[in-house]
Amino acid sequence: MASAAGRKPEEDALLETAARVLPGGVLGGYTAPRDLSFVVREARGPRVVDVSGREYIDYLLGSGPLVLGHAHPAVVAAVERQLSKGTTYFQLSEPTVALAEEICRAVPCAEQVRFTASGSEATFFALRVARAFRRREKILKFEGGFHGTHDYSLMSVGPRAPKAFPAPTPDSAGIPHAIQEHVLIAPFNDLAETEAILAAHHGDLAAVIMEPFQRLIPPDLAFIKGVRAITARYDVPLIFDEIVTGFRFAYGGAQEYYGVVPDLAAIGKIVGGGFALAAVVGRAEIMRHLAPELEGSPEYVTQAGTLNGNPIAAAAGLATLAELRRPGVYPRLFETGNRVKRALQEAANAVGVPAHVAGEAPVFEIYFTDRPITDYRATLTADRAQHRVFTEELLRRGILKAAQKFYISLSHGEQEIRQTVEAFTAALRKVAEGRP
Ligand SMILES: Cc1ncc(COP(=O)(O)O)c(C=O)c1O
């Protein structure tokens, strides 16, 4: 069980050092309150162990890549095999070429692949290549959609006081004001408003970028099919950000799951097997702008990175994908996810806290509101303080989740599910006690 009381002096010392040498004492992602902070010693399957030896059932999973769980034997073996052959070449290698070929087999829109080292880079370069293809500069994204941490992405991801569409709100200090002129914002799941914005601005647009499953919000099928049809009509490339959904919702990602194929996609997380690898994938007609034969021409898109297509990451990715191709894997992932997701909603109902569990089986979250979660503005009606209490009370009981989602893995079994469901009820009681 996790609690500040159980923290050993060596872990306290590490946290003190971290507080001195890292801004805020963290790496930039989810931050637990001080009394619940910990330093990971190791992780295996669905469990993480901290330096004091306390164990956590893990629904954070490295922020998503570890759909097989931690240190999966097939991934470890593949990485060990590659390690002894060298760690990086900045050249083609067997695992890199094989992974690109497998991605093209799996992902419906993928005719070609350009590797990057992170998902943020993948969306950034997808936008750049779309600009080169379309010879326009503006992009349209959806309110509440997240595409990583570059300047174009951090627009209207989490505005507390949203503006009228299509005006953007920057989500970070340090973003040049000029970027706002290049980003339009539309409401997710609102086809009429999106169509009106596209009708007015398509002549200036290089691309529409969207998470097909936006954060925790499933799309109305008529909405994503409509966005696909309208962007095709106006010849504006449609980019799916499948960093979360790629190889998670189905082997072919959300584009297979929802049956809507974009022009380009950004994939990451699972495809790198827990290493630094992501990719821009898409139609060859657009991807050709990345090919060196165009170098020196105004059509050429410059993109390179020291670790792009790293062979260790590619080996880990290939091993992960091989496991995901086994029969029955996706039904099992969905069954586990549905059980935990349903149990969370039932626990909230039983305790009497108004709440909606939103998402799909492999990724979901609870919102403390009586409104169904169909778009970003609905999420603003949820009680953030209650959500913080819930996440912290789970952590106190040894359940680790992302700040705003549960990721499910194939390694979560009966014991983990039972422990998790017990913790749900206890944590939700704490939420209920704190209500006015
Ligand atoms: C939908 C989406 N796009 C892009 C990113 C950025 O990926 P990375 O953290 O690898 O830069 C993330 C990260 O969580 C994401 O969830």
Task: Return per-residue pLDDT of the chain as tens, 436 residues.
Answer: 444 669 999 999 999 999 999 999 999 877 788 899 999 999 999 999 999 999 999 999 999 999 999 999 999 999 999 999 999 999 999 999 999 999 999 999 999 999 999 999 999 999 999 999 999 999 999 999 999 999 999 999 999 999 999 999 999 999 999 999 999 999 999 999 999 999 999 999 999 999 999 999 999 999 999 999 999 999 999 999 999 999 999 999 999 999 999 999 999 999 999 999 999 999 999 999 999 999 999 999 999 999 999 999 999 999 999 999 999 999 999 999 999 999 999 999 999 999 999 999 999 999 999 999 999 999 999 999 999 999 999 999 999 999 899 999 999 999 999 999 999 999 999 999 987 6
Look at ligand 1, atom 13, and give the residue with the nearest C-alpha.
Answer: 148
How would you label 40-74 residue by residue, b for 16+ Cβ within 10 Å and e otherwise?
A: eeebebbbbbbbbebebbbbbbbbbbbbbbbebee
d(CA 99, CA 278): 11
Task: Give residue 154 CA to ligand 1 midpoint distance, Å.
Answer: 12
The atom of ligand 1 lying closest to the CA of 269 is 10
Look at ligand 1, atom 10, and give the residue with the nearest C-alpha.
Answer: 119
Residue 217's beta-bridge partner residues? Answer: 214
d(CA 241, CA 342): 27
Edge-to-edge order in the sheet of strand 399-401? 40-44, 47-50, 55-59, 399-401
User: How remote is the C-alpha of 188 from its chain's centroid?
Assistant: 17
Taking CA atoms, 378 is separated from 102, 245, 284, 366, 383, in Å, by 38, 22, 38, 13, 11
241 touches ligand 1 (CB under 6 Å): yes
242 touches ligand 1 (CB under 6 Å): no
| Parallel, antiparallel or unpaired: strands 264-267 and 278-282 | antiparallel
Strand (E) or helix (H) holding 223: helix 221-233
CA torsion 268→271→273→276, rounded to 10°? -40
* Three-state DSSP class for residue 322: helix
Residue linked to tokens 């999973």: 61
Q: What are phi and psi of 31, to 5 degrees?
A: -120, 120
Look at ligand 1, atom 16, and give the residue with the nearest C-alpha.
Answer: 244
The pLDDT value recorded for residue 2 is 42
10 Å Cβ neighbour count for 33? 12
Residue 407's beta-bridge partner residues? Answer: 363
Edge-to-edge order in the sheet of strand 205-210? 112-116, 278-282, 264-267, 238-242, 205-210, 138-142, 183-186
